[in-house]
């Protein structure tokens, strides 16, 4: 996937990680390797059709995709940036097909198929997005749920957990951090990234806006994402982001990303205090949120299952079968009620 959003002005750093957690490759039958070695059988090829709709929350129409039995335990998916809930389509179809989970994912305001309210009327901050998602869940009558969080979904999700910890039945994190261990670009207080979050760089914003406006229709002439990435995801991201006002909204949210790091210690303490199962799934080829970020969760949740995959930042797009298998196994081993 093109490096947009989280990568706006940061220098992508490469890191060599020597961890005592064996990586999982797509070709290996051993799909889950954690602090306790687990062998998970492939989930199979079953897919269930999802259904789609828009839920109005505070005047904003939020798109969602949903599937599985309504009376099964709920798993809420929170997407990253700049993509949308489409990044979970294949995983959700497989999980819905098991008949054991109710799955739902929402597009945040200005993402995917959701409305893009004017930034002069809607404040694009992580706190506000989290409040909107919380109201969406209330509107959908979802009171207790497990969370699957990736990238931007992690700071949004941990705000949901803070606000209503008793609503959470399990936590699944994928390539998203609450520790600086896995965030090398933010470790130096004087890094370009931290300087941006202290003083917004309008020149960088303008450059990003120009590049976003010129992103081409995906075709054989410009496709560089490989055979495992769904072009539909790329197309939706481009079209959605080129709507009036959306780039400025996303830049506002990116600037607010700096508000998350001061909350890391509180979120770490919160995770320690929760008595819920934790699973961490990580694409090992993510140079932005690196593998030490996955291992850091063990400090707060020593019983967490850690799975390192042969994939990148958007692993659900690259290897949905492996992730669906891991999530199905994890959720079947725990009481999510």
Strands (E), the chain: 51-57, 60-67, 74-78, 102-106, 145-150, 168-174, 278-283, 305-309
Length of the chain (residues): 337
* Three-state DSSP string of 182-217: HCHHHCCCCCHHHHHHHCCCHHHHHHHHHHHHCCCC
Written as six digits, the tokens of 106 are: 């929402």
5, 314 Cβ separation under 8 angstroms = no
Q: Catalytic residue among 31, 250, 313, 334, which? A: 313
313 is known as an active-site residue: yes
Total-model pTM = 0.88
Give the C-alpha distances (Å, rounded to integers) separating 153 from 80, 172, 240, 279, 321: 6, 11, 18, 15, 21
How much is the pLDDT for 21?
A: 41
How much is the pLDDT for 321?
A: 96
pLDDT averaged over consecutive 10-residue blocks of the chain (337 residues)? 37 28 40 37 67 98 97 98 97 97 98 98 98 98 98 98 98 98 96 95 93 92 87 95 96 97 98 97 97 98 97 96 98 95
Helix axes 202-213, 246-256, angle to 10 degrees: 140
Q: What is the pLDDT of residues 69-102, one digit of tens each?
A: 999 999 999 999 999 999 999 999 999 999 999 9
């Amino acid at each position: 996937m093109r490096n947009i959003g989280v990568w706006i002005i940061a220098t992508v750093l490469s890191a060599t990680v020597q961890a005592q957690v064996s990586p999982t490759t797509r070709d290996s039958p051993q799909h889950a390797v954690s602090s306790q070695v687990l062998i998970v059988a492939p989930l199979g090829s079953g897919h269930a059709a999802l259904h789609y709709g828009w839920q109005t929350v505070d005047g904003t129409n939020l798109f969602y995709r949903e599937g599985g039995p309504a009376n099964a335990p709920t798993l809420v998916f929170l997407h990253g940036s700049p993509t949308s809930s489409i990044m979970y389509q294949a995983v959700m179809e497989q999980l819905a097909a098991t008949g054991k989970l109710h799955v739902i994912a929402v597009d945040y305001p200005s993402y995917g198929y959701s409305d893009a309210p004017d930034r002069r009327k809607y404040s694009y901050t992580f706190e506000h997005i989290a409040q909107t998602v919380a109201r969406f869940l209330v509107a959908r009558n979802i009171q207790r749920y497990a969370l699957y969080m990736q990238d931007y979904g992690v700071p949004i999700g941990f705000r949901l957990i803070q606000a209503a910890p008793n609503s959470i039945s399990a936590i699944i994190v994928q390539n998203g951090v609450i520790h600086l261990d896995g965030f090398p670009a933010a470790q130096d207080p004087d890094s370009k990234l931290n300087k941006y979050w202290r003083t917004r760089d309008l020149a960088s914003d303008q450059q990003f806006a120009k590049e976003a406006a010129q992103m081409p229709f995906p075709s054989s002439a410009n496709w560089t994402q490989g055979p495992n990435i769904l072009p539909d995801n790329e197309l939706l991201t481009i079209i959605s982001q080129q709507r009036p006002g959306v780039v400025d909204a996303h830049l506002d949210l990116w600037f607010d990303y700096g508000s998350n790091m001061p909350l890391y210690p509180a979120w770490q303490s919160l995770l320690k205090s929760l008595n819920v199962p934790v699973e961490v799934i990580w694409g090992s080829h993510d140079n932005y949120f690196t593998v030490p970020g996955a291992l850091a969760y063990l400090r707060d949740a020593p019983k967490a299952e850690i799975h390192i995959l042969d994939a990148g930042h958007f692993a659900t797009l690259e290897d949905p079968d492996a992730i669906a298998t891991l999530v199905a196994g994890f959720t079947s081993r725990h009481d999510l009620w």
